[in-house]
Amino acid sequence: MAAVIVHAGAYDIPDHEADPLREGCKKAAQEAHKALTEGKSAVDAGKMPYSRCPLVTSVELAVCVLEDHPLMDAGHGSVLNAAGEVEMDAIITDGSSLNFGSVAGVRNISHPISLARMVMDDTPHVMLIGVGANLFAKEKGVPEVDPDELVTAEAKEAYQTFKQYSSVVDNVFNIDNHLGHDTVGAVAIDLCGNIAAGTSTGGISLKRVGRVGDCPLIGCGAIADSGVGGISCTGHGESIAKVLLAQRSLSTLQAKNGIDAEGALSESLGYMLDRVGGRGGAIMVTKEGCVARHYTTKGMAWASVSKTGQLDSGI
């Protein structure tokens, strides 16, 4: 019953980026699904080069692929804050134990999702931030990279473009022609029915130094409960945090009332738009292995491999 779905952010995706983003999502979904169908669990699905834990989640594997894609706002490709620097956030959660790990405001590493996994596995904590998170990365032997390696020409262009907006964080997801990039994420279910979810982001262009959105917050950027499902969210972080979008979607699905996975996402995203004026998107895998996605922006890059093995993708 292994299934996986990934996303590369919900925003007004330019035509020239559509195919590369779709292909990047397909690659991430296929690599994660391959690990799952080889019999590894959603919590033990692949090997990362610098993790002391020999096995990591298929979700981590998928998100690492997305973090390496230069058009995606996570890891390589992260956008720049008001000081022209990269600050990245990530979360990963295990639906079997309800354990999770997250990091916020990290710099000079390639895979924030892997550092979040280390927080979950190797500390008694659920979140590390800023300098402390980077010190922990050094302690764990995570290779440092030159921050310039994480910054693309597109990120620099977005930085210049967004200077024209006086209230970027408040308005960027509510204007008709949203420019820029956004969060990436993945959700998977393994052959034993365990579910994991993860989300990673470089944030919003020109955000205040130290700004943290929804991504690393449990129940906001992601959540997983193997008895119900798993969710990864994307969009205007402040709005997502205000309505606890991931938790709201999961609770709506759990309450049933004839609603299916896509219906639960639609209800929650509609509530966020009506209640706080925020737009975004989300992906879900249910305990039955059904995959779903929904968004209220002009587009969202995604790909999935269903429990029947069918590969699908879209913008």
Instruction: Give the pLDDT of residue 217.
Output: 98
Q: Which amino acid is at 71?
A: L
Instruction: Give the pLDDT of residue 165.
Output: 60
- Name the residue with tokens 């692949």: 46
Distance between terminal CA atoms of the chain? Answer: 25
- From 57, 93, 152, 183, the catalytic residue: 183
Is 296 marked active-site?
no
- pLDDT per residue as tens, the chain (315 positions): 799 999 999 998 999 999 999 999 999 999 999 888 876 655 554 444 434 332 246 899 999 999 999 999 999 999 989 888 999 999 999 999 999 999 999 999 999 999 999 999 999 999 999 999 999 999 999 999 988 889 887 877 777 776 766 554 445 544 444 445 579 999 999 888 999 999 999 998 888 999 999 999 999 999 999 999 999 999 999 999 999 999 999 999 999 777 999 999 999 999 999 999 999 999 999 999 999 999 999 999 999 999 999 999 999
Q: Where are the domains of the chain?
A: 3-314
Going by their DSSP bridges, the two strands 291-295 and 280-286 should be labelled as antiparallel
Instruction: Give the pLDDT of residue 160.
Output: 77
**Alpha-carbon distances of 206 from 80, 161, 181, rounded to whole Å:** 6, 9, 12
**Alpha-carbon distances of 222 from 56, 69, 214, rounded to whole Å:** 17, 21, 9
CA–CA distance, 67 with 78 (Å, rounded to integer): 9
- The contacts of residue 130 (CB under 8 Å, 6+ apart) are 104, 105, 106, 210
- Name the residue with tokens 């024209």: 164
- The contacts of residue 255 (CB under 8 Å, 6+ apart) are none
Q: Do 77 and 69 meet the contact criterion of CB atoms below 8 Å apart? A: yes
Return left, alpha or beta for 105; rule: phi > 0 is left, psi -120 to 50 is alpha, else beta.
Answer: left
Question: What is the separation of C-alpha 50 from the centre of its chain, rounded to a whole number of angstroms?
Answer: 21
**CATH T-level assignment (fold) for domain 3-314:** Glutamine Phosphoribosylpyrophosphate, subunit 1, domain 1 (3.60.20)
Tokens of 289: 């292995």
CA–CA distance, 95 with 222 (Å, rounded to integer): 11
CA–CA distance, 91 with 246 (Å, rounded to integer): 13
Instruction: Give the pLDDT of residue 96.
Output: 92
